[in-house]
C-alpha cells in the first residue's frame, strides 16, 4: 500500500498544503500519521480529495461535501437527509451536464463555421458587431 506525504499530495492535486490541512481540520479527511506526527495520505485519501475537488468545481459547499462524503463512506447506512442531498446533487450534476452538452455543441458549431469560412471567422466578427 502506498502512502504519500503532504507535499507530494499538494503537488499531485494542485491544492496547497494549507488547504489540505484545512480539509483535515473540517473532518473532510482523516489522515494517518507516523509516530513522529508526519501525515501519510493513502490512495483512499487521494480518491477522497479528488471527490472533494470535483464537488467544489460544481460549487458544492464544504458543508454539503462533508455530507456527501458521509454517504460515500457508508451508502447503506447514510441518514435520510444525506441521501436526499445526494439525490439533489445528482440531479444538479445531470442538469449541468445537459447544459454543458448544449454549450459543447454550440462551440463545435462555431469552430466549424470558422473553419469553413473563406473569409476568416465570421462568427467572431458577428459577435463583435453585437457587443
Binding site for other proteins (CB under 8 A): 102, 105-106, 108-109, 112-113, 116-119, 122-123, 126
Q: Which is nearer to other proteins, 47 or 99 (CB)?
A: 99
Q: Which is nearer to other proteins, 25 or 115 (CB)?
A: 115
Residue 63 CB, nearest distance to other proteins (Å)?
Answer: 36
How many CB atoms lie under 10 A from the CB of residue 123?
A: 15
> If you write DSSP's letter for every residue of 2-49 in order, what string do you get?
-EE-HHHHHHHH---HHHHHHHHHHTS---EE-TT--EEEEHHHHHHH
Residue 131 CB, nearest distance to other proteins (Å)?
Answer: 14
Three-class secondary structure of residue 119 per DSSP:
coil
Residue 24 CB, nearest distance to other proteins (Å)?
Answer: 44
Q: Which is nearer to other proteins, 80 or 129 (CB)?
A: 129
Query: Rounded to whole angstroms, what are the CA distances from 42 to 3, 32, 102, 110?
Result: 5, 8, 38, 44
Sign of the CA dihedral running 123, 126, 127, 128: positive
Residue 125 CB, nearest distance to other proteins (Å)?
Answer: 8
Q: Which is nearer to other proteins, 61 or 102 (CB)?
A: 102
Q: Copy the grid coordinates of residue 110.
A: 462555431
Amino acid at each position: 500500500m502506498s502512502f504519500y506525504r503532504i507535499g507530494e499530495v499538494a503537488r499531485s492535486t494542485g491544492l496547497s498544503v494549507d488547504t489540505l490541512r484545512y480539509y483535515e481540520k473540517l473532518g473532510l479527511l482523516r489522515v494517518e500519521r507516523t509516530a513522529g506526527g508526519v501525515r501519510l495520505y493513502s490512495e483512499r485519501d487521494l480518491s477522497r480529495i479528488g471527490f472533494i475537488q470535483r464537488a467544489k468545481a460544481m460549487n458544492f459547499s464544504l458543508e454539503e461535501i462533508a455530507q456527501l462524503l458521509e454517504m460515500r463512506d457508508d451508502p447503506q447506512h447514510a441518514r435520510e437527509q444525506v441521501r436526499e442531498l445526494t439525490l439533489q446533487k445528482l440531479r444538479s450534476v445531470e442538469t449541468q451536464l445537459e447544459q454543458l452538452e448544449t454549450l459543447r455543441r454550440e462551440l463545435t458549431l462555431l469552430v466549424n463555421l470558422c473553419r469553413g469560412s473563406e473569409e476568416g471567422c465570421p462568427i467572431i466578427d458577428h459577435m463583435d458587431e453585437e457587443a
